[in-house]
Amino acid sequence: MITNSPIIEALKESEELTSEYLKSLIDQSPSPAIAVRGALKKSSDILDAFFLDNKDIKQLVQARAWFADKILKLLWEEFDWKGKDDISLIAVGGYGRGELHPHSDIDILILSKNELCQNYAEAVSSFVTLLWDLRLDIGQSVRTIDECIDSASDDITIATNLLETRTIAGNDVLRELLNTRAYSDEVCSNRSYFLAKREEQRLRHEKYSDTEYNLEPNLKSSPGTLRDIQTIMWITKRHFGLSSTSELTRYEFLTPEEYQKLLDGEHFLWTMRYGLQMIAGRNENRLLFDHQRNLAEMLKFEDSEEKLGVEIMMQQYYRVVLGLAELTDVILQHFDEAILRKNESAEVIKLNKRFQIRNRYIEAINSQIFAYAPYAIMEIFLLMAQNPQVKGIRATTIRALRAHRHLIDKTFRKDLAVTTLFMELIRTPHDLHKTLSFMKRYNVLGRYIPEFGRIIGQMQHDLFHAYTVDAHTIRVIRNIVKLREPTARSKFPQASRLIHRIPKLEVLYIAALYHDIAKGRGGDHSDLGSLDAEKFCARHHLSKRDTQLICWLIENHLLMSMTAQKKDIQDPDIIHSFAMEVPSQIHLDYLYVLTVSDIDATNPRLWNTWRATLLRQLYIEARRALRRGIENPLDKTKWISATQAEAQDMLLDQGFREEEIDIVWNKLEDDYFLQDSTAEIAWQTASIIKHGNSTEPLILIQDIEERQGDGYTQIMIHLKDGQGLFAATTAVLEQLNLNIVSARISSGKGPYSLNTFIVLDENNQSLTGNTERKEQTYHRLKDELDDPADYPEIIQRRTPRQLKHFSFPTEVTFSNDMINQRTMMEVITPDRPGLLARVGSILMTNNVSLANAQIATLGERVEDVFFITDPDGSPISDPKICEILQTEISEQLDEHVQAN
């Protein structure tokens, strides 16, 4: 540990931090801990000021450890340790390395040669109590040398801590005796230690989904972060042992470039961790949304025209950890060969004149192959695709790739041999996403496709997009690959069938690769991505037909999801408008598969049974429209008549009379009969007839299970219309923690209203099989809706932590749907509990009727569309009413977010 640096000198110059001054404080105070708390605070303030002044981070963490040493040594010397030869105070773990962040744990070991005598035991107890009075995060253990070795033999974490020790006070010979045994096979062999740390790393990576791209990463434990660097350091220390005390000597197997990358990565992560703990005021390693913006400002990442400062910071973070992950591959593979396979004979399979597989890792036969045959940079990844037994690239070849990837330039990208190899890779049936991930990891994909290189590590600071743009893109391709597997049929039944009808998968893969590639540039990313893709297609000699299809998919990759989620797809006019945008059935098939894969790759919670139902319904109706011919749109009147005839036949078969059916139907608007399911119309009509003239609300709950495996729960409510009905119903459903995904309000021509809500549970699943939950819902609705004027107070649950940090002003816009004679009101706002009930209440107080609602929650962002009318059922014609609605909705929703 360094004990002399400009920052340590600055601490020494402060009179209040000198040993003499601190000693006098301790001697004069009845409580030594209280006496030095002020000194700890002052030293911390000095170091934090140096940090904000952009001083060397390594000096800062070492200076903090140095001052902690000084305090602990002074306090230790307050006790009578007699001869002091058989007990000592040892720093272990990160503190043992001489590194402390603002709120890091200070791990110490009170080491004795033999079991503590009574006097020592009492002194140790008093010393430990004194440390706790300091209010520092102290982690302590009291052991003899033998006890340390026994514990280390049983626990790899203790064994690791004992590799990093420093004597703070007492006899250093004890630590040397401990080290000699701790580094020996008495604790564990070099081989077993390596295996244990590698397995520990595997489990840790698994906890974080094996990705460097977590939205709220842990700077200490996520893949590619400080714990990975420390794991390399521990394995290196244990392998080379006590004989190699110099860090440079231990890392001789690294190239200067690799060693510098390790240092630079560590310094960057240290800087983020130091700032994070200053902001959080505690030992916090999770880079939560709560802190990301503040940290970006502290580290002087400023907003640009295209990106927020926080997005620039996070992109740099992701790129750093990706580079460290690549380096970790090289180092762990080096030790795998040096430790585990030292005496093993290699299994070698020759692939061609340039490459072979050694122990399931592909390697270049000649490390200079990339220099005299640059196309081999692409060839190695094609060979990986063609040989699924390959686990990865051998460390020596990774280094050769790194040394020659500067050859990936304009000439390389236009080389016919290279473009042919890349297209062959795309067309080879295999786990394409894994090969592309390798190409990205080793910085080949980003160089070969520079536009992809620009989105590596690019995040979008919201909860809708759970992954960086590049990680999302690879996940889309992964989803397409997985659709061909039998396991996909349950989750994606329609897409898993269509994938086998897609004539050219490479078209779909390229569209997926480019669909978001222009994000972060400003402008429409779909149009800009299409232009990039057109150049890619020309460079790779794709046909004009395939190029047009790829570009169309990229330009329209949001068309299907936006139509399904934000428009009334039971309206034939909406279906016709959508079908007008789709040139052919094959375009529709490609678009459906791409849309499903895209949604599921955006956020793990985004895909649910209701979205699956909406997309499949839109696909089926659009397919019908295309078969019928766009020039022959469906006649709405004929559709309604056909729907009524089919539903009436069902009801007559059940014994109902035409007069009973007509009484119910004559009270309903024509739009009610635009829904797709005649079975539901028959079921609802039959229930209303059976209910008769009862004044109690008719409430029906049923689970709808589609043939494709999707499902949702439908709640039908039929009762005398009241302006507070929508607000009352949504308030109750939200109090029951049910997620409303669609609402159809049929006010009708009489005093009754027929409302249908589609709901899912908190896990985005139907209530199928949950009889108790459905009964609870039924009784609660019945109790609350018997008098809509007494609708429940809007739910006041606190806004979830993550949502608070993504607040933005509510947007309310209006447009008139002249075909259906109603006004469309779109509300874009941060998600929060009670939102629908609050909107419903505002509509009620302004005497505005709600005809229909399309509900879409996208991460923290709600984009809901309400179809409203005046009391006479006409579009809102008075601009003042729209202005009042816009003001009240914006003010009340924004006030609710701020209050929480």
Amino acid at 769: G
Percent of the chain at pLDDT > 90 equals 51
CB 208 within 8 A of CB 221: yes
Select from 268, 266, 248 the least CA-distant residue to 256: 248
Model confidence pLDDT, tens digit, residues 264-279: 999 999 999 999 999 9
Burial 562-598 (b: 16+ CB within 10 A, else e): ebbbbbbbbbbbbbbebbebbeeeebbbbbbbbbbbb
Q: What is the pLDDT, as a whole number, of residue 729?
A: 85
Give the separation between CA 599 and CA 152, rounded to whole angstroms: 48
Residue 169's DSSP bridge partners are 89
CB 145 within 8 A of CB 179: no
Give the separation between CA 71 and CA 100, rounded to whole angstroms: 14
Give the separation between CA 773 and CA 736, rounded to whole angstroms: 9
Lookup result for tokens 């640096």: 5
What are the backbone angles phi and psi of residue 90, rounded to the nearest 5°? -115, 135
Give the separation between CA 341 and CA 334, rounded to whole angstroms: 10
Provide mean pLDDT across the span 163-182: 94
State the pairing for strand pair 698-705/392-393: unpaired
Provide mean pLDDT across the span 844-864: 78
pLDDT of 68 > 70? The answer is: yes
Provide mean pLDDT across the span 806-811: 77
- DSSP H or E stretch at residue 399: helix 395-404
Provide mean pLDDT across the span 633-650: 83
Residues in Cβ contact with 650 at an 8 Å cutoff, skipping those fewer than 6 apart? 678, 679, 682
What are the backbone angles phi and psi of residue 394, rounded to the nearest 5°? -65, 145
Q: Which of 97-101, 293-297, 312-316, 337-341 has the lowest mean pLDDT?
A: 337-341
Give the separation between CA 224 and CA 737, rounded to whole angstroms: 38
Which DSSP letter does residue 286 get?
Answer: B
How far are the Cα atoms of 77, 364, 402, 598, 783 from residue 373, in angstroms, in the given order?
A: 68, 12, 15, 37, 78
Model confidence pLDDT, tens digit, residues 761-785: 887 788 888 899 999 999 988 888 8
CB neighbour class for 31 (10 Å; exposed up to 12, middle 13-18, buried from 19): exposed
State which of 405-409, 697-701, 853-857 shows the largest mean pLDDT.
405-409
Give the separation between CA 422 and CA 93, rounded to whole angstroms: 47
State the pairing for strand pair 822-830/861-869: antiparallel
Give the separation between CA 844 and CA 723, rounded to whole angstroms: 5
Give the separation between CA 278 and CA 291, rounded to whole angstroms: 10
- Ordered alpha helix ranges (H), 516-633: 525-539, 544-555, 559-566, 572-580, 585-602, 609-628
Which DSSP letter does residue 391 get?
Answer: -
What are the backbone angles phi and psi of residue 83, rounded to the nearest 5°? -70, -20
Q: Token digits for 657?
A: 């009379």
- CA angle (53, 54, 58) in 5-degree steps: 125
Model confidence pLDDT, tens digit, residues 545-593: 999 999 999 999 999 999 988 888 888 888 989 999 998 889 999 999 9
Provide mean pLDDT across the span 166-173: 94
CB 805 within 8 A of CB 822: no
CB 212 within 8 A of CB 315: no
Q: What is the pLDDT, as a whole number, of residue 722?
A: 61
Q: Which of 121-130, 408-417, 427-436, 798-807 has the lowest mean pLDDT?
A: 798-807
- DSSP H or E stretch at residue 366: none
Task: Determine the 3-state secondary structure of 16 from DSSP.
Answer: helix
More confident residue, 344 or 140: 140
Residue 326's DSSP bridge partners are none
CB 226 within 8 A of CB 265: no
- DSSP H or E stretch at residue 895: helix 879-899
Give the separation between CA 491 and CA 483, rounded to whole angstroms: 10
Give the separation between CA 528 and CA 531, rounded to whole angstroms: 5
First vs last C-alpha separation in the chain: 47
More confident residue, 77 or 856: 77
Lookup result for tokens 């280094």: 399
- DSSP H or E stretch at residue 752: strand 752-760
pLDDT of 83 > 70? The answer is: no
Give the separation between CA 601 and CA 616, rounded to whole angstroms: 18
Give the separation between CA 487 and CA 491, rounded to whole angstroms: 8
Q: What is the pLDDT, as a whole number, of residue 588?
A: 94
pLDDT confidence bin for 794, thresholds 50/70/90: very low
Task: Determine the 3-state secondary structure of 720 from DSSP.
Answer: strand
Provide mean pLDDT across the span 628-657: 83
What are the backbone angles phi and psi of residue 846, rounded to the nearest 5°? -100, 15
C-alpha gyration radius of the chain: 34
Give the separation between CA 551 and CA 800, rounded to whole angstroms: 40
pLDDT mean across residues, the chain:
87
pLDDT of 708 > 60? The answer is: no
Q: Which of 41-45, 57-61, 379-383, 767-771 has the lowest mean pLDDT?
A: 767-771
CB 741 within 8 A of CB 855: yes
Three-class SS of 822-885: EEEEEEEEECCCCHHHHHHHHHHHCCCEEEEEECCEECCEEEEEEEEECCCCCCCCCHHHHHHH
CB 471 within 8 A of CB 446: no
Provide mean pLDDT across the span 848-866: 76
Give CA 719 to chain center in angstroms.
43
pLDDT of 238 > 70? The answer is: yes
Q: What is the pLDDT, as a whole number, of residue 796?
A: 47
Provide mean pLDDT across the span 855-861: 67
Residues in Cβ contact with 389 at an 8 Å cutoff, skipping those fewer than 6 apart? 357, 360
pLDDT confidence bin for 795, thresholds 50/70/90: very low
Q: What is the pLDDT, as a whole number, of residue 99?
A: 94
pLDDT confidence bin for 611, thresholds 50/70/90: confident
CB 705 within 8 A of CB 684: no
